[in-house]
Amino acid sequence: MPRYCLFGDTVNTASRMESTGLPYRIHASRSTVEALLGLDEGYEVAVRGQTELKGKGIQETYWLVGKAGFPRPLPAPLPIKPGDPWRDLINQEIKAAFARARQGAAGPSSSEEAPAQP
């Protein structure tokens, strides 16, 4: 069961925003930014610039980059641009993260002895 549903033109807009976005970025339309800033809760946005959205024309779009008072660090976006082969970069990053997780979960190898307890 989905947690949310999109209907009508919202589906097309969401699809176009996703397909023109970048990894580790939250791509937002002008109406979304206006709604977020209207909440006056400290959302921080940066202008991405003019973006061609198929069937919608060229529109000013934005990146949601943070929120005032949010204590956790956000992952740094990869240094890629539209048209770059970012999927390869993401796959490499995911594989490296899994390798690090496996190393951490494995603990000391069986050839190593645990230190003697006093």
Over residues 54-107, the pLDDT tens digits come to 888 899 999 999 999 998 888 887 777 767 777 787 788 888 888 988 988 776
86 assigned to some structural domain: no
Instruction: Residue 61: name the closest of 14, 28, 12 by CA.
Output: 28
Total Cβ atoms within 10 A of residue 40: 7
pLDDT of residue 39: 95
Query: What letters, b where the CB count within 10 A reaches 16 and e where it falls short, cover 89-117?
Result: eeeeeeeeeeeeeeeeeeeeeeeeeeeee
State how many domains the chain has: 1
108 assigned to some structural domain: no
What range defines the domain where residue 67 resides? 9-77
pLDDT of residue 9: 76
pTM of the model: 0.62
Q: How many Å apart are CA 76 and CA 94, to the nearest integer?
A: 15
41 assigned to some structural domain: yes
95 assigned to some structural domain: no
Do residues 39 and 82 touch, judged by C-beta distance below 8 A? no
43 assigned to some structural domain: yes
39 assigned to some structural domain: yes
Catalytically annotated residues:
16, 54
87 assigned to some structural domain: no
pLDDT, tens digit, for every residue of 1-49? 556 676 777 788 888 888 888 888 899 999 999 999 999 999 999 999 9
